[in-house]
Amino acid sequence: NAGVTQTPKFRVLKTGQSMTLLCAQDMNHEYMYWYRQDPGMGLRLIHYSVGEGTTAKGEVPDGYNVSRLKKQNFLLGLESAAPSQTSVYFCASSDPGVETQYFGPGTRLLVL
């Protein structure tokens, strides 16, 4: 099992450009999450999904959109990137009642 994978691993964007981060999990988990990690701030929840076709906002959703068209994939979109979105993005998945989140290796995004 690959677990949770994230694509790409690293990306540089110019302000105003758009991009999509892909998260895939092969554990058949119901729940998926997108976090951003910034120095001194821990991980903050951007959006999450409790099942295929459903998404919900987390703590810091502004400037991001998500989609969960397939159970195994969770996409994070930036429509118009801003320097404040420079961060490391982590995807995670889990199952109801198990309470263990499995994390991907992260995507490092730099917005110039």
Interface with another protein by CB under 8 A: which residues?
4, 31, 33, 35, 40-45, 48, 50, 58, 90, 92, 94, 96, 99-101, 103-106
Q: Least distance from C-beta 1 to another protein, angstroms? A: 15
Closest CB to another protein among 29 and 81?
A: 29
Q: Cα-atom radius of gyration of the chain, to the nearest Å?
A: 13
Q: Least distance from C-beta 40 to another protein, angstroms? A: 6
Q: Least distance from C-beta 100 to another protein, angstroms? A: 5
Closest CB to another protein among 14 and 99?
A: 99
Instruction: Report d(CA 92, CA 90) in Å as an integer.
Output: 7
Q: Which helix (H) or strand (E) holds 83?
A: none
Closest CB to another protein among 58 and 63?
A: 58
Q: Least distance from C-beta 74 to another protein, angstroms? A: 14
Buried b (16+ CB within 10 A) or exposed e, 55-88: beebebbeebebebeebeebbbebeebeeebbbb
Closest CB to another protein among 11 and 17?
A: 11
Residue 98 CB neighbours (<10 A)? 11
